[in-house]
Structure 1
Amino acid sequence: MHADNLSYDEAVRIVKEMIDKTFKTEFLMALPVTVRPLASARISTLVAGTKKYAADPLARTTAITRMISHIIRLGIDNGRVKRMIEHVNDMHDRSGVEDEDRIYILSILVVWQRRMIDLYGWRRLTPVEVNALVVTYEVIGRRMHLECMPGTYEDYEHFVDGYERQHFREEQINIQMAGLVLTQIRAMSGGIGGRIALAVQLYSMDELLRKSIGYPALRPVSRAVARAVIRLRRMALRLFRGKGWHPARLAT
């Protein structure tokens, strides 16, 4: 199958396979992607103004991600999915979320999900898998009334990197909002395995993200240890894949 000739249905099937099987543990370890929008003061300020945020910050932060999960599993024309899209669109309209911010939130699910898998997954994404992400989110963006979605993966990268250069900076509102989410995630990370997985994800955050949400830069020793743990995890995934084991068995 050629990467440039994917239909939407084919693209969604490939993305679903990535989420459910091929890269299940990589999608589970998505904390650097989850908190990324909160490194933008414009987004953090809007999120802080919602009534339900303090009660359940993680649910509010991941609202679009959960909507997309339903789209992938139920289909974009499913009645429940249509109502969810309408609800999210209405919520964004009432909150005054700018189209640029909406496009950014969708775009990081293409760019940073790909980057995290390429860096820490058991293998890199293929061109077909990358294009499946592009096709899927371009259609989802149109259903969210976003007519200027990037057209290629390179366009997504250019948009995301430009947005982050312009909007990412250390602000108190970012520190506060991201802190609420990370506190909730820590409380949910039970057991030694959960705490180790969380620590690895925190160490995997890039320096721009860390600085923008108030995390200190990593010391060289800490960075080296984190990279060693991630490399060992990747080697283990490759080993077990070769023996017919499913990566989800190593999920924490």
Structure 2
Amino acid sequence: MRGRYRHLERVRTLDPVADCEEIYAAAVLREFPWDMLLALNLAFYRTYAIPSIATLIAGTGELTARPRKRADDTAILMYEMIIHGVDSERGRASVRQLNRIHQRFDITQDDYRYVLATLVVVPTRWVDRHGWRPLCCHEKAATAQFYSRMGRRMNIKDIPSGYAAFAEFFDDYERRFLAPSPAGTTLMNATTQLFKGRLPGRLARFAPTVANCLLDPPVRRAVGAAEPPLLARAVVGASLRTRAMIVRWFHGPRGVPFMADGIRTPSYPDGYAIEAVGPAS
């Protein structure tokens, strides 16, 4: 497709540090909107496999009682920063809201760093494996810089420096702490029901199987998800490869960015104020 790599050519003229927000926004909103949306969700699901984080999330009751609203709240605060920039007025308001939500919990710096690392590493590896092209070195560096900037605004200490350091920290943390827990299983069951509601008609009954196919085997074991049948894994894998091929060869570069008309969610049909996003107390 003519001009398919136009955005990538633009990215390669930019500085991954100084222009990290522009580069990362282009990847999320223009180059890989579907992949990034799905992979950012998978990054959050991965935290269910860390018992200390899963226990904290389950203890709030928000995800199990109001899974749709919890998902919408997370998406709003993340995409506000991606669309407008971490240091924009709306970005700063989103950071303040995240800090307000988390301040009443005893969260370790290591767990904060791990969650930050999931947002860097999981989507990057997903796009490299399933996207219509892999991320270039500028995009990976900018992703790490974007989340480092967000982490500093959230007062997270000793943030890994660069993508390779994030990946090393991520892999080491999972080797040490990824394990089964009742809380992880509870959270994954609630999330699977939410995923089920996103599939049309008769396809909804396949939601648990599809969701399980998207998880790595160690994560499946940690959250108590069933091992999907070989046929299901083959169908999902083939579907992802086919989609990537179609996007690469038949889709032109996206002119209008994803969510250009605003962030719309079922939980806030009439819009929202950033200060009101999240649990009430």
Same fold (TM over 0.5): yes
Q: Of 157, 177, 197, which aligns to 1:147? A: 157
Mapped to 1, the partners of 2:212 and 2:95 lie a distance apart of 31
| Kept after mapping to 1: 8 A contact 2:30/2:253 | no
Q: Which runs of 4+ in 1 moved over 6 A?
A: 1-4, 192-198
Counterpart of 1:82 (choices 92, 112, 115) is 92
Q: Is the 8 A contact 1:25 1:247 kept in 2?
A: no
The equivalent residue for 1:60 is 70
Specify the alignment match of 1:157 in structure 2. 167
Aligned amino acid, residue 133 of structure 1: T
Amino acid of the structure 1 residue aligned with 2:247: L
Pairwise mapping of residues 192-231 of structure 1 onto structure 2 (< 5 A)?
200-231=210-241
The 3-state SS of whatever aligns with 1:95 is coil
The alpha carbon displacement at 1:84 in A equals: 2.8
Note the C-alpha offset of 1:37: 0.9
Q: 1:13 and 2:16 equivalent?
A: no
Aligned-residue offset at 1:169: 1.4
User: Identity over the aligned pairs, expressed in percent?
Assistant: 27
Residue 195 (structure 1) shift: 7.6
Distance 1:2 1:21, change over 3 A: closer
Distance 1:197 1:123 in 2: 27
2:51 to 35, 41, 46: 41
Contact 2:220 2:227 in 1 (8 A): yes
- Residue 7 of structure 1: CA displacement? 3.1
Q: Which of 36, 55, 70 matches 1:27?
A: 36
Aligned position for 1:232: 242
**In structure 2, what is the Cα distance between the partners aligned to 1:153 and 1:123?**
18
Unaligned regions of 5+ residues in structure 1, if any? Answer: none
Distance 1:208 1:233 in 2: 26
Distance 1:73 1:154, change over 3 A: same
The whole-number CA distance in structure 2 between the counterparts of 1:240 and 1:192 is 29
Report SS of the residue matched to 1:209.
helix
Q: Secondary structure at the match of 2:63?
A: coil
CA distance 1:199–1:11, shift in 2 (3 Å): farther
Give the AA of the match of 2:167.
E
Aligned residues: 245
Deviations 1:105-160 (A, max 9, x none): 11111101001111111010001111110111111110010121110211111111
Aligned partner of 2:124 in structure 1 is 114
Q: CA deviation at 1:167?
A: 1.7
Tell me if the contact between 1:3 and 1:131 (Cα under 8 Å) persists in the aligned partners. no
Correspondence 1:186-197 to 2 at 5 A? 186-191=196-201
Q: 1:93 maps to which residue?
A: 103
Shift of 1:182: 1.7
For residues 141-191 of structure 1, the C-alpha deviation after alignment (integer angstroms, 9 at most, x for no partner) is 100101211102111111111111122112211100111122122123335
Matching of residue 134 in structure 1 with residue 131 in structure 2: no
Does the 8 Å contact 1:38/1:174 carry over to 2? yes
* Alpha-carbon separation, structure 1, partners of 2:37 and 2:201: 16
Q: CA deviation at 1:227?
A: 1.9
Unaligned runs of 5+ in 2: 1-10, 257-281
